[in-house]
Amino acid sequence: MTISDSLVEWFAENARSLPWRTDPRDAYRTLVSEIMLQQTQVDRVTPRFVEFVHRWPDLKALAAASEDDVLSVWSGLGYYRRARLLHRLAREVVESGRDRLPQDIEGLRALPGIGDYTAAAVGSLAFGLEAPVLDGNVERVVARMTAFGGNPRTSIAQTRMKSWVRKLFPGHHPGVVNEALMELGATVCMPSRPRCEACPLAFECKGHEAGRPVEYPPPRKVRETEHLRWVAACIVGPDGRWLLRRVQEGPILRGLWLPPLADLEAQADPVGVAMGLTPEGLMVECGAVSGAVRHHITHRRIEVVPVLMHVLHTDFPAAMWQWSRPGEVIGGTSSLFEKLHKAIEINEKKHQ
């Protein structure tokens, strides 16, 4: 039996049932799932995906949605830039007079937010194009199969790996081959504990044969951790709702609704900085400073000091602000809001 026959047969018997794996494959659903799955795990993506495609079943419906609604359904998946780009993509396709995705790699690649990976994934899975898909899982399988000890991210390595995958296409649907390799990497050829005894490719695997599969590929250099310290002005109205502002700038959290935030220098007074974040026309009484909340975004470790403020009297334009509680935010937010809410609640209880 050849590697590709063994792989495809294994996939037919072992593929997880996932809501985007429809028969036949739907290009729009494939696109949504591929974008959601970038940097987010399957079990977190699944319920969001179901909600997303239920609400917007095609590109036309997504194009007609407001960005706030899209970010709101995306909540919990993180990396909101992906949601914004997906929304922009839908609008661009629909505004150009089409209601379907282009069926060639160049056309897909020209759309907002679509890189080589997504174009190859959608192109092969939905349209049967012979485009190898290299995600971290596939790179690991190929590196182990070929005992490739170099960095899989270099362009030479990528070309070699793609050509290895391409050799598996003849006689099979390229999308099935790609997806089977991804599935094998996710469920059998795992990073630290490959289950070689259950692997359909073990008979041809050089890494396994050498007895050291986990040495392939070599570990990636870890990005240096950045430590940040912020203050959050936790402005609470008489009915318990919090005042949120849309984050306008910066490399992270942009576009999300959160309590006003600012950098907090080591020696700075959190209350003074938080007071400076209150909007003009809003009178507040300063409450307690709670213990810092820890929040991680990729390589950033953020310590956020919550400062409680009770509203005494309000008279300010509400545009760009909203009053809300966790779970009720109109538009996208971050789990940081819930963490701050909990920190204030715990602190209040302690001092009752």
202 binds ligand SF4 (CB under 6 A): yes
d(CA 194, CA 171): 28
Query: In the bound complex, what is the minimum distance in angstroms from residue 216's beta carbon to ligand SF4?
Result: 8
Measured from the CB atom, the residue of 202 and 232 that comes closer to ligand SF4 is 202
Query: In the bound complex, what is the minimum distance in angstroms from residue 271's beta carbon to ligand SF4?
Result: 55
d(CA 89, CA 150): 36
- Pattern of binders to ligand SF4 over 145-164, x per CB under 6 A? x-------------------
Query: In the bound complex, what is the minimum distance in angstroms from residue 134's beta carbon to ligand SF4?
Result: 15
b or e along 295-329 (b: 16 or more beta carbons within 10 Å of the residue's beta carbon)? bebeeeebebbbbbbebeebeeeeeebbbbeeeeb
Q: Which of 116, 163, 119 is nearest to 31 (CA)?
A: 119
7 binds ligand SF4 (CB under 6 A): no
> Taking contact as CB under 6 A, which single stretch among the options 93-101, 190-198, 257-265, 310-318 is the one that binds ligand SF4?
190-198
Q: What angle do CA 242, 246, 249 make, to 5 degrees?
A: 140
Measured from the CB atom, the residue of 206 and 300 that comes closer to ligand SF4 is 206
Query: In the bound complex, what is the minimum distance in angstroms from residue 189's beta carbon to ligand SF4?
Result: 3
CB 314 within 8 A of CB 283: yes
- What is the three-class DSSP state of 159? helix
Measured in whole angstroms, how far is the alpha carbon of residue 322 from the centre of its chain?
Answer: 25
Query: In the bound complex, what is the minimum distance in angstroms from residue 239's beta carbon to ligand SF4?
Result: 56
> Taking contact as CB under 6 A, which single stretch among the options 34-42, 100-108, 119-127, 139-147 is the one that binds ligand SF4?
139-147
d(CA 150, CA 144): 11
Measured from the CB atom, the residue of 147 and 289 that comes closer to ligand SF4 is 147
307 binds ligand SF4 (CB under 6 A): no
CB 151 within 8 A of CB 157: yes
How many residues sit in the footprint of ligand SF4 (CB under 6 A)? 15
199 binds ligand SF4 (CB under 6 A): yes
194 binds ligand SF4 (CB under 6 A): yes
209 is known as an active-site residue: no
Q: What angle do CA 54, 57, 61 make, to 5 degrees?
A: 115
d(CA 126, CA 104): 11
Measured from the CB atom, the residue of 199 and 273 that comes closer to ligand SF4 is 199
Q: Exactly one of 9, 13, 34, 106 is catalytic; name it.
A: 34
Measured in whole angstroms, how far is the alpha carbon of residue 250 from the centre of its chain?
Answer: 18
Q: Which residues bind ligand SF4 (CB under 6 A)?
A: 141, 144-145, 188-189, 194-196, 199, 201-202, 205, 207-208, 213
